[in-house]
Amino acid sequence: MNFKLQREKQLKNDIYHAGFGVISIFVLYMKATFSSNERLKSKIQIDKLFEEGNTLSVFPLRLVYKSFIFNDTVAVKAGVSVSKRNFKMAVDRNRIKRLMREAYRLNKNMCFNNITTQYALMILYLGKDMPDFDQVDNTMKKLLKQFVNDVSE
């Protein structure tokens, strides 16, 4: 039996014995993926997000967010962006975006498992230096915690 199936069975068993019932599994367990239906791609939604959205910053990242109603069942759609002004070479911009997507994918579970409203997020990199993964990961954790605190108020 592969590890993923074994982990899902264990999780179902733990949740059932905790008294939540089997139906609550999908609310409590969010996969650590960043699939295409979780990505913010609509030009209309992105424009509305920047016009009407709220912002949070933890240098070198900025989060722009707004509540939306999506046709999908996902709770959050997210996008990442790096300024061409600060990083002229596409190779550098793509690397930073890849690091940001990975940090988001790994840390979204701790924040969005219990969220009920659908949100659109855009994460922007504001720094001028090439980051390493640890820096992006730590900053992403702080930013997502700040987002959850801001939304829950």
Q: What is the residue-level pLDDT of the chain in tens, covering all 153 positions?
A: 455 555 555 555 554 444 444 433 334 456 788 888 899 999 999 999 999 999 999 999 999 999 999 888 888 999 999 999 999 999 999 999 999 999 999 999 888 877 888 999 999 999 999 999 999 999 999 999 999 999 987
Are 12 and 51 contained in the same domain? no
What is the model's pLDDT at position 14?
54
Whether 137 and 92 map to the same domain: the answer is yes
Interatomic CA distance for residues 69 and 98, integer angstroms: 27
- Based on DSSP, count helices (H) and strands (E) in the chain, helices before strands: 5, 4
If asked whether residues 22 and 63 sit together in one domain, one would say no
Q: Which CATH number does the domain housing residue 48 bear?
A: 3.30.230.10
> What is the number of domains present in the chain?
2
Please tell me whether the overall predicted TM-score, pTM, comes out greater than 0.85 for this model: no
